[in-house]
Chain A
Amino acid sequence: MKRILALTFSAAIAALAGAAFATPAVPDAAARGRKAFDRYCISCHGVDGDGRGPSAEWLDPRPRVLTSGTFKFRSTPSGELPTDDDLHQTITNGLHHTNMPRWGPITERERGDLVEYVKSLSPRFEKEPQGKPIAIPPQPAFTPDLVRTGQDLYGKMGCANCHGDTGKGDGSSAPTLRDDWGFPITPRDFTSGPLKVGDEPRDLFKAFMTGLNGSPMPSFAESITPEQSWALVAYVRSLRKE
């Protein structure tokens, strides 16, 4: 009995601590952001941010379910909430190969308000602290040796199962992949075009070390070192044909 009480107490303390460090949306900014959301976002993300706007059914990939607090593109460790900057970058730069456009032309104030409103849509931001960005060591020179090291890792880590032996996104598991909401999801084709979140080597590094929450793409932060992650980046970049 004492043990159960202790566990319950510990869990309560942890939850309170999480809530204490949480950074919920700023109400005034979120209220302004709601107006911007109504204008720019609801046709895809839905009136309630549930990713079920009238256009959602026709979009591939589907719009993010903002109420879940689960975001693919972050600088924070796997499973954690994104930083405000992560959300801001996605809104500002858009996502390649998706229908999420760049909202960079709208005012900085509107984009900031949208970040706050997006945070207000998920209770996670009230209960949990936002993650801390992972450390990204300086990018090494992409030498042939580093590329070979990355190629070995690509095989050992099973990347080819989804992304295919040549990186075209046609691995044996590719047809079976689903995201957390059950929608089919296509592995990135590394041979053409940028990642959804950007075209810089550090964007790949982040994807390897943080994973893409809500998708089958895991984080390799527990499996490989940062140096090995850069090697993987070097190899994946070498697959680009255009």
Chain B
Amino acid sequence: MSKHLRWIAVVLLVAPAMRAEAIPAFARKYGMSCTACHVAWPIFNQEGQNFRDNGYQFGLGKDDPVTLSPAYIPIALRTTPAYQFTRQTNQPSDQGPITVQSGGVPLPPGVDILTAGTVAKDISFLLVVSGFGPDGTASVESAWARLDNLFGSGWLNFKIGKFELDEPASAHRGVALTYGYAVYGAHPLGSTVGFDMGENQVGIEIDGHDARSATRYSLSFTSLNGGEVLSGRESGNGWSSPMVYGHVQQAFETGSSVLPWVRVGALGGIGWWPTTFDTSAGTPIAGTGREHKKLIRAGGELSWLMGNAATPLFFTVAYQYGREDAGLAEAGTTDPATGIDLSTVSNSFHGGFAELDWVPFSESSYNSVPWLLFARYDIVRFQRGTGDVDGGTIGVRRYLALGPRASAAIHLEAHVDQAKGIGAPDPVSGLPMNVVTQSVLAGVDFDF
């Protein structure tokens, strides 16, 4: 396997966390605190989930822009000035394996501009432009429109544009700021597939839910070409590398004070990715892909609340299986352990994560949720080849403001993961070594 492909694997397995979509413009619109819809910003509670499922509507006559003061602007800004230090072991260099360390505060720290809401009853939208960091570039992270409550029923809604797949835990509303869910971006060694489940996709979605969003479903038809990170190996047009993805969830109320709420879910997706390209100086030309091979994702999740739902211990455990057909690995990629050419065989992985978000207590103040503690464990195991990942993330957020206008939080986080066999070659054995990534982040998260 080339060094280039090893690096692709590293990047995909421990991709930085996606910027979260939390929109205080809604708090200003309705006069409600962020805590009304979020366990702790940015994680949804059931009220927030239902509000989103309804097309950013409460449905009581105060959603339509014509009912609002003309001074209301549905725009929110988020920026997170933070110091982040990262250390990675066993990186290749001309001097042999080295440990690379970096740290600093990106200035400017980057900004997300979010606008969302309803343009009229049952027509909703979301536009997120993200970037404006030191390189000055910005990109459209999300851009979609949705026709809500078709035929007067919450069971049928239609979304088109660039959007996040309905996931067991949102990659864009995760609380961690250093690294995202490893299993969402997992690919077997040498994979050429550019799909990342945590990235927003381009396509259409049909979804629905009951009145309380206890039962939910979504069915998406997307183009694997549309991910946020293009691999340069996309096929000819938007629909020539299609993916069909579905997710269902069912929540149960137990009435118990210990375990008041449980939710189960299942997901599945099947997509096709090209394996043959025209080339220029040996490099694949984007848009010329053909001879597609299949990839699948399947899994499930279990979420539950413990204790008072207003100050919950919120658990999510998710499992995912992935499989990619023979031909989807780069030709000549060999399994270091067996010597098998991985491009000639299918490969698969099992993985998942367990996450705990805890609001230890509340205060009778307009910053009613002062603390959030969180911890997550990520795991990925591949059938063949290297790249197995174990990772842990812990953190704490101290909310300085969480009222009906804006939010701010001091955010401290630490992350460590080990990816097996993807580092520089061992000088003795010649086999790729494990890479340990450590990262700490301290910053202030502003959402206005």
Contacts and interface: CB of A to CB of B under 8 A. Distances in A.
Interface in A96-112: 96-110
A44 B31 contact: yes
Contacts of B362: 35, 38-39
B7 interface: no
A135 to B, nearest CB: 29
Interface of A: 32, 34-36, 38-40, 42-44, 47, 53-56, 58-59, 94-110, 193
- Closest A-B pairs by Cβ, 7 of them: A55-B31, A35-B310, A105-B50, A38-B368, A43-B404, A101-B58, A43-B33
Contacts of B279: none
A40 B47 contact: yes
Nearest to B255: A109
Nearest to B38: A39
Contact of B30 (A35, A38, A99, A103): A99
Contacts of A43: 27, 31-33, 36, 366, 403-404
B118 interface: no
B47 A105 contact: yes
A2 B49 CA distance: 66
Q: Is the interface of B mostly helix, strand, loop or mixed?
A: loop
B276 interface: no
Interface stretch (B59-67, B126-134, B173-181, B232-240): B59-67
Given A35-B310, A38-B310, A39-B33, A105 B213 contact: yes
Contacts of B36: 39-40, 43, 101
B260 A107 contact: yes
Considering residues A38, A56, A102, A193, which has the most beta carbons from chain B within 10 angstroms of its beta carbon? A38
B364 A101 contact: no
B310 A110 contact: yes
Given A56-B31, A96-B60, 13 more contacts: A38-B362, A38-B365, A39-B362, A42-B364, A43-B403, A59-B31, A96-B61, A98-B62, A101-B36, A101-B47, A107-B46, A107-B253, A109-B255
A135 B182 CA distance: 60
Could you tell me the dominant secondary structure of chain A's interface residues?
loop
Nearest to A102: B58
Given A107-B253, A109-B257, A39 B310 contact: yes
Interface residues of B, number: 40
A42 B402 CA distance: 12
B255 A54 contact: no
A96 B32 CA distance: 16
Contacts of B31: 43-44, 53, 55-56, 58-59, 99
Contacts of B260: 107, 109-110
B309 A106 contact: yes
A98 B67 CA distance: 11
A32 B308 contact: yes
A35 B47 contact: no
Contacts of B261: 107
A95 B60 contact: yes
Nearest to B305: A107
Contacts of B33: 39-40, 42-43
Contacts of B404: 43, 53-55
A100 B35 CA distance: 15
Contact of B46 (A98, A106, A109): A106
B3 interface: no
A102 to B, nearest CB: 6
A42 B368 contact: yes
Interface in B350-370: 362-366, 368-369
Which of A39, A43, A96 has the most CB atoms of chain B within a 10 A radius of its CB?
A39
B57 to A, nearest CB: 10
A34 B45 CA distance: 18
B50 to A, nearest CB: 4
Contact of A94 (B58, B253, B369): B58
Interface in B4-57: 27, 30-33, 35-36, 45-47, 49-51
A210 B221 CA distance: 53
Highest count of chain A CB atoms <10 Å: which of B45, B60, B255, B362: B60
A100 B404 CA distance: 14
A98 B260 CA distance: 29
A94 B60 contact: yes
Contacts of B58: 94, 101-102
A9 to B, nearest CB: 41
Interface string B276-315: 0000000000000000000000000000000011110000
16 contacts: A34-B364, A43-B32, A43-B366, A43-B404, A53-B31, A55-B32, A55-B404, A59-B31, A97-B60, A104-B50, A104-B212, A105-B50, A109-B253, A109-B255, A110-B260, A110-B309
A115 to B, nearest CB: 14
B211 interface: yes
A58 to B, nearest CB: 6
A35 B212 CA distance: 21
A76 to B, nearest CB: 23
Contact of A109 (B32, B47, B309, B365): B309
Given A58-B31, A104-B212, A42 B310 contact: no
B366 A54 contact: yes
A42 B363 CA distance: 11
B372 to A, nearest CB: 13
Contacts of B62: 97-99
Given A107-B261, A107-B309, A39 B403 contact: no
Nearest to A55: B31
Nearest to B257: A109
B121 to A, nearest CB: 11
B32 A44 contact: yes
Contact of B49 (A54, A100, A104, A105): A105
